[in-house]
């Protein structure tokens, strides 16, 4: 595997979208046309084709397609929709799949479109830097920690939507920008987070637990993944292993909360 041109002891599978030099996480700068090295990120000339991206955001496109397919599939089967919703008493009865199926479920087209736009924007921003496996791991862990948040704050409500996973990706983008000395205000990430949190708390019938749980999961897992990438040459197995541990812990915690006598 290639090594970073500035840090020869660090392996990386990502190259600058402009000059092609291998770059490690510390040297990656997100741009609208992919990851660039510190020198090229300061240039005003931009490559304007998607093919210039270091890593095509294939996982993002697959997740978008899955969400769309599940939406139309559930729309044609009210029973399937009911069986996929996140609902604490059902989880307590052993329907554990609801902890993840609900994260791909949308009842209204507007809800679907808003989540897909956010997923598309965030996925194209961060998947090229993370790689496919790490990106999917963060998405799924955020989805599961979002379900944990629902079981913690509002387990008897019917909950659905990819918002928890999307909040996790927003948290991932914030961690990555901070690690690369990209201004959180200038990049718009903090204002977007503040706006969305305001909507979460001020508008009724929005899952506070799902949003906060997903955000917390994304922040935690991305921080650890980035630290592992910085300190180890081949950190992918450890990154995936840690993500699995957090995901399993979220499932166990959600099931325990759903089965609590309080319900």
Digitized pLDDT (tens) for each residue of the chain, 263 residues in all? 678 888 888 878 788 877 888 888 888 887 766 678 888 877 654 443 333 445 689 999 999 999 999 999 988 888 888 999 999 999 999 999 999 999 999 988 999 999 999 999 999 999 988 999 999 999 999 999 999 999 999 999 999 999 999 999 999 999 998 888 888 887 788 999 999 999 889 888 889 999 999 999 999 999 999 999 888 878 899 999 999 999 999 999 999 999 886 55
Token pair belonging to 223: 């921080």
What separation in angstroms does the CA of 57 have from each of 72, 191, 235? 23, 25, 20
Active-site residue, 163 included: yes
CA 53, CA 63: separation in Å to the nearest integer? 19
Catalytic residue among 102, 163, 207, 243: 163
Active-site residue, 235 included: no
Token pair belonging to 101: 């199926």
User: How much is the pTM?
Assistant: 0.79
- Per DSSP, the three-state class of 34 is strand
CB crowding 122-139: b at 16 or more within 10 Å, else e: bbbbbbbbbbbebbbbbb
- Per DSSP, the three-state class of 60 is helix
Residue 33: predicted pLDDT: 61
9 Cβ contact partners less than 8 Å away, ≥ 6 residues apart? 3, 233
CA 41, CA 34: separation in Å to the nearest integer? 10
CA 106, CA 122: separation in Å to the nearest integer? 19
Q: Which domains does the chain have, with CATH numbers?
A: 1-52 (no CATH), 55-258 (1.20.1540.10)
CA 155, CA 99: separation in Å to the nearest integer? 11
Nearest CA among 248, 262, 223 for reference residue 147 = 248
CB crowding 58-73: b at 16 or more within 10 Å, else e: ebbeebbeebeebbee
- Is 32:236 a contact under the CB 8 Å cutoff? no
- Is 185:191 a contact under the CB 8 Å cutoff? yes
Residue 16: predicted pLDDT: 83
Catalytic residue among 15, 147, 211, 229: 211
Residue 32: predicted pLDDT: 61
């Amino acid at each position: 595997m290639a090594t970073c041109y500035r840090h020869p002891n660090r392996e990386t599978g990502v190259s600058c979208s402009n000059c092609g030099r291998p770059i490690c996480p510390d040297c990656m700068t997100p741009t609208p046309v992919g990851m660039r090295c510190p020198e090229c990120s300061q240039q005003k000339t931009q490559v304007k084709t998607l093919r210039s991206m270091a890593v095509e955001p294939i996982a993002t496109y697959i997740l978008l397609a899955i969400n769309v397919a599940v939406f139309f599939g559930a729309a044609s089967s009210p029973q399937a929709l009911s069986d996929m919703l996140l609902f604490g008493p059902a989880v307590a009865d052993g329907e554990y799949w609801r902890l993840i199926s609900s994260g791909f479920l949308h009842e209204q087209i507007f809800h679907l479109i808003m989540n897909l736009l956010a997923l598309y924007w965030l996925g194209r921003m961060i998947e090229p830097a993370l790689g496919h496996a790490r990106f999917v791991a963060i998405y799924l862990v955020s989805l599961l920690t979002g379900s944990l948040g629902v079981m913690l704050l509002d387990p008897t409500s019917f909950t659905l939507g990819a918002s928890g996973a999307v909040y996790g990706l927003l948290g991932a983008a914030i961690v990555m920008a901070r690690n690369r000395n990209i201004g959180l205000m200038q990049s718009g990430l903090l204002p977007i987070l503040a706006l969305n949190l305001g909507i979460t708390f001020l508008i009724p019938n929005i899952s506070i637990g799902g949003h906060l749980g997903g955000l917390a999961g994304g922040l935690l897992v991305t921080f650890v993944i980035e630290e592992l990438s910085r300190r180890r040459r081949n950190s992918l197995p450890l990154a995936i292993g840690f993500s699995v541990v957090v995901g399993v812990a979220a499932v166990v915690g959600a099931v325990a909360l759903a089965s609590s006598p309080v319900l």
